[in-house]
Structure 1
Amino acid sequence: MKIAILSDIHGNIWALEAVLADVKKQGVDLLVNAGDILSGPLEPSATADLLMSLNLPTIKGNHERQLLACEHKRGGPSDQFAFEHTTQAQRDWLQGLPATLELSNEVFMCHGTPSNDLIYFLEEVDQRGRYLAPIANVEAHAGSLKHSLIICGHSHKPRSYAISGGRLVVNPGSVGLQAYDDDQPYFHTVENGSPHARYAICESAGSTWNVGHRCVSYEHEKAAATAHRNGQQDWAKWLATGRA
């Protein structure tokens, strides 16, 4: 089994198209999407149309919840923009996505952790900033899951983390946004150092998995210009540089 994992696309149609073109060259058996799909000042509707046509195994992330909540209360700029630039049919598609997904007896997918889409699986955040989580914390998040491959997203940081029972937790990084800042639970930044789109390929190797984290160049200048035009200068910088 060879699985290509997408996550955190954030409406970046240019990055998504480049990644899909790269995936086609890799001979994968399955392509999956781990959430945070449309929110951002980019092209949420075009991104939704493309993904809906592919009918991939897909879960919702925290930004799907936040986008849908904009129907009742104005949300943050990224969620509100995506809400206002998607159709009811596209939002219905988001509404129908599960929060977690068991792809097989060996593969489980969540966005943050299995129980909370706002918590980083493989990182911790405190007054010092964001850093690699201690193994005890990762083990606690994984809990009683027996799957040999546990897929997560949310942090936009490509990582592979081995835990007990021969299990491997893999975050593919973000297709669409390589840097950001956040003030929850404490102010912190995430940056990958270049604007390349990120995704991962996991291939079963007996009782374990080989993992390839891929960086794909794309027309990031178009994405940055779109964010600038739509009034989010922080996104324009993050998209152009991959730095916060």
Structure 2
Amino acid sequence: MKIALLSDIHANLPAFESVLEDLEKQQPDAVYCLGDLVGYNVWPNQVIGLVRKHGIATIAGNHDLKVSKIMPSESDCSKEESSEYAYKLVGRKERDYLLTLPRHLRIEFQLNDQPLNMLLVHGSPRSINEYLFQDLPDQYMQELVREYKADILCFGHSHKPYHRVINSGKNSSEHFHHLINTGSVGKPKDGDARACYVLVTIDQTAGKIDQDAVQVEFVRIKYDVEKAAQAVELSLLPDAFADNLRKAY
């Protein structure tokens, strides 16, 4: 089974459209989005519309939940630059959609008469705002995946993609866990301005004792970065957001 995971679109329509085009070629069996559809750019409603049109199962990100405190703007009443402008662009029906998204999704496979659990979160299982950086100690991550019974833990939020395998087995037993950060479709922060998503391949031999049985591929997609950056500069959003897109930081 081939599963596509994407996250942190951040209202970047050109990037998301390019990823959707690539997904049409890849033909994964399932597509999941780990949140943050909005923020930082001017196309939140169009991005939400495409997510819903394509039936992409989605969880809430921290930026999605910000719309609960910032109501849609009826007019461009303020001419000052503000990061809040990104949330004021979100329409009322789109706002209702974001505020009813689940926080986590759990997928359980039964392979070789054994369960294999995949947990999809935005930040971490403990908090939507927690960053699971690649250099966190093994012990911390082992405690996390054991607590939430996650053989494959998938998350975004930091916008920095990585795949890390840890072993939580004790004594002579082995229990491998896959930690997968999806990176970001619409606002990469790893120095590569291309959109990023992940393809996870799980076959019938996959299990907890074979660390190579789950295959993870990071897919980078070129898109019109300048179009997205200029849209920021022509809006009431801070110009710094455009520089973030061009330089991927």
1:214 aligned to 2:219?
yes
Instruction: Find the partner of 2:99 among 95, 100, 104.
Output: 95
Q: Classify the secondary structure of the residue corresponding to 1:203.
A: strand
**Distance change in 2, residues 1:34/1:77 (3 Å):** farther
1:183 maps to none
Q: How does 1:55-204 map to 2 (within 5 A)?
A: 55-71=55-71, 77-78=82-83, 80-105=84-109, 106-123=117-134, 132-163=135-166, 164=168, 165-179=175-189, 192-204=190-202
Instruction: Find the partner of 2:238 among 228, 232, 238.
Output: 232
Tell me how large the CA RMSD over aligned residues is: 1.8
Gap runs ≥5 in structure 2: 73-80, 110-116, 169-174, 208-212
Equivalent-residue separation in structure 2 for 1:42 and 1:142 (angstroms)? 36
- With normalisation by structure 2, the TM-score equals 0.82
CA shift, 1:49, in A, is 1.1
Gap runs ≥5 in structure 1: 124-131, 180-191
Identity of aligned pairs, percent? Answer: 30
1:182 maps to none
Equivalent-residue separation in structure 2 for 1:102 and 1:196 (angstroms)? 29
Corresponding letter in the other structure for 2:197: Y
Equivalent-residue separation in structure 2 for 1:77 and 1:174 (angstroms)? 22
Corresponding letter in the other structure for 2:215: N
Give 1 or 2 for the bigger CA radius of gyration: 2
Equivalent-residue separation in structure 2 for 1:61 and 1:27 (angstroms)? 25
Corresponding letter in the other structure for 2:228: A
1:41 maps to 41
Corresponding letter in the other structure for 1:169: L
**Distance change in 2, residues 1:77/1:141 (3 Å):** farther
1:128 maps to none
2:210 maps to none
Preserved contact between residue 7 and residue 173 of structure 1 (Cα < 8 Å): yes
- With normalisation by structure 1, the TM-score equals 0.84
Preserved contact between residue 42 and residue 89 of structure 2 (Cα < 8 Å): no
